[in-house]
Amino acid sequence: MELELDARQTQIYSDIEGFWLNAVNAQKQYAAAIVSSAAMQESYNLVSEQFEVGLKDIVDVITAKNNLLQADQQLLQSKYTAVLNRAMLNFYAGHPLVIN
């Protein structure tokens, strides 16, 4: 019985440590995704302007748009991963599970 309790405590501590590491990593990924999304937006804007004056073709514009969409998708994914991991840490800390 006592060994089982110790095993469960160890598992909970391991789970909490995993959520903490995941939360830290997700926050770093989110910060990087913000920068990447802004850079891709600027790149898209520049390619669009160059297209309007005839310096780029439609393939370049579509490629820039796809890169922007991928960066925005990564931004959203990393944001909600960070929110989920933070909510799980709060849950294990004894707070009600609230995702906002």
Domain boundaries, the chain: 2-92
Identify whether the C-beta of residue 72 lies closer than 8 Å to the C-beta of residue 3: no
Mean pLDDT value of segment 86-97:
87
- Where in the chain does DSSP place strands (E)? none
CA separation (Å) from 33 to 44, 75, 86, 88? 16, 5, 18, 22
pLDDT at position 48 is: 98
Taking the C-alpha atoms of residue 51 and residue 6, their distance in angstroms, rounded to an integer, is 65
% of the chain with per-residue pLDDT over 90: 69
% of the chain with per-residue pLDDT over 70: 98
Q: Is the torsion defined by CA of 82, 88, 93, 98 positive or negative?
A: positive
* pTM exceeding 0.85: no
pLDDT at position 62 is: 98
> 83 or 48: which carries more pLDDT confidence?
48
